[in-house]
């Protein structure tokens, strides 16, 4: 019903969608970019893309939330692909710098070591970590957003946490050497 209302651009339905999801989408983008102004712009772009898709009858099929997160993820990826100068800071380091993420993992890892460890994860593993532990989404929700099965999400999460555990937990890990390698 909400989709039908949104497709005819009913103001109450569009307001409801925006009010329900704008904060979550902003938070997700902010944790991936670490830049509030950019996050505001990209959040706006998510909702512009939503309206454009609704206008051309390409709205969500199953989950509005999953569809919006997928749009947000694609916009973040596109932004960093277009970016010619990276300011010398990796994508994962930008969102790892966010206070809410660091405080969530406080007591488990040292922030500097975690930043280094995140550099060793694939983009998909970073996305799973962000959606699961920063956004607090379930495996089912993450699977829908990423277009994967729940089992694949569990495997990505397991590999990501294992890699972080190896890097942060020692196991022959030299943080100075790892940081030098990550900067190459």
In a 3-state reduction of DSSP, which class is residue 130? helix
Percent of the chain with pLDDT over 90: 23
The reply to whether 58 and 12 lie within a common domain is: yes
The reply to whether 61 and 151 lie within a common domain is: no
For residue 184, the 8-state DSSP code is: -
Mean pLDDT of 96-110: 45
The reply to whether 116 and 93 lie within a common domain is: yes
The reply to whether 79 and 94 lie within a common domain is: no
Q: How far is CA 20 from the centre of its chain?
A: 18
Q: What is the pLDDT of residue 169?
A: 65
- Of 54, 84, 114, at which residue does a domain stop? 84
- Of 49, 84, 119, at which residue does a domain stop? 84
Nearest residue to 36 via CA among 96, 89, 98, 93: 98
Mean pLDDT of 3-26: 86
**CATH number for the domain including 38?**
1.10.1740.10
Residues 6+ apart with CB under 8 A from 151: none
Q: What is the pLDDT of residue 45?
A: 94
For 6, how many CA atoms within 13 A lie in the half-sphere containing its CB? 21
The reply to whether 43 and 99 lie within a common domain is: no
Q: pTM for this one?
A: 0.60
Q: What is the pLDDT of residue 39?
A: 93
Q: What is the pLDDT of residue 164?
A: 79
* Structure confidence by residue, pLDDT tens digits, 138-179: 999 999 888 899 999 999 999 888 887 777 665 544 444 444
Residues 6+ apart with CB under 8 A from 8: none
Q: What is the pLDDT of residue 116?
A: 67
Q: Is the pLDDT of residue 47 over 50?
A: yes
**Token representation of residue 77:** 């990826």
The reply to whether 69 and 160 lie within a common domain is: no
Mean pLDDT of 68-87: 79
Q: Structural domain of residue 32, as residue ranges? A: 1-84
- Of 31, 60, 84, at which residue does a domain stop? 84
The reply to whether 17 and 33 lie within a common domain is: yes
Q: What is the pLDDT of residue 83?
A: 73
The reply to whether 149 and 108 lie within a common domain is: yes
The reply to whether 126 and 104 lie within a common domain is: yes
The reply to whether 132 and 183 lie within a common domain is: yes
**CATH number for the domain including 126?**
1.10.10.10
d(CA 176, CA 92): 18
The reply to whether 77 and 34 lie within a common domain is: yes
d(CA 58, CA 9): 14
Structural domain total, the chain: 2
**Residue spans of alpha helices (H) in 83-138:** 91-96, 99-104, 111-118, 123-129
Nearest residue to 128 via CA among 92, 97, 81: 92
The reply to whether 55 and 97 lie within a common domain is: no
168: how many CB neighbours lie within 10 A of its CB?
Answer: 20
Mean pLDDT of 34-51: 91
């Amino acid at each position: 019903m909400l989709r039908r209302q949104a497709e005819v651009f009913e103001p109450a339905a569009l307001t409801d969608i925006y009010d329900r999801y704008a904060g979550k989408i902003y938070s997700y983008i902010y944790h991936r970019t670490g830049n509030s102004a950019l996050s505001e712009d990209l959040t706006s772009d998510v909702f512009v893309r939503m309206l454009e898709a609704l206008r051309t009858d390409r709205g969500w099929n199953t989950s509005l939330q999953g569809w919006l997160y997928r749009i947000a993820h694609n916009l973040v990826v596109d932004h960093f692909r277009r970016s010619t100068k990276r300011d010398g800071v990796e994508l994962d380091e930008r969102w790892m710098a966010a206070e809410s993420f660091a405080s969530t993992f406080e007591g488990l890892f040292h922030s500097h070591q975690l930043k280094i460890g995140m550099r060793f994860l694939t983009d998909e593993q970073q996305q799973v970590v962000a959606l699961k532990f920063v956004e607090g989404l379930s495996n089912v929700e993450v699977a829908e957003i990423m277009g994967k099965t729940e089992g694949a999400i569990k495997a990505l999460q397991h590999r990501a946490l294992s890699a972080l555990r190896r890097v942060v937990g020692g196991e022959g890990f030299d943080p100075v050497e790892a940081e030098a390698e990550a900067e190459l």
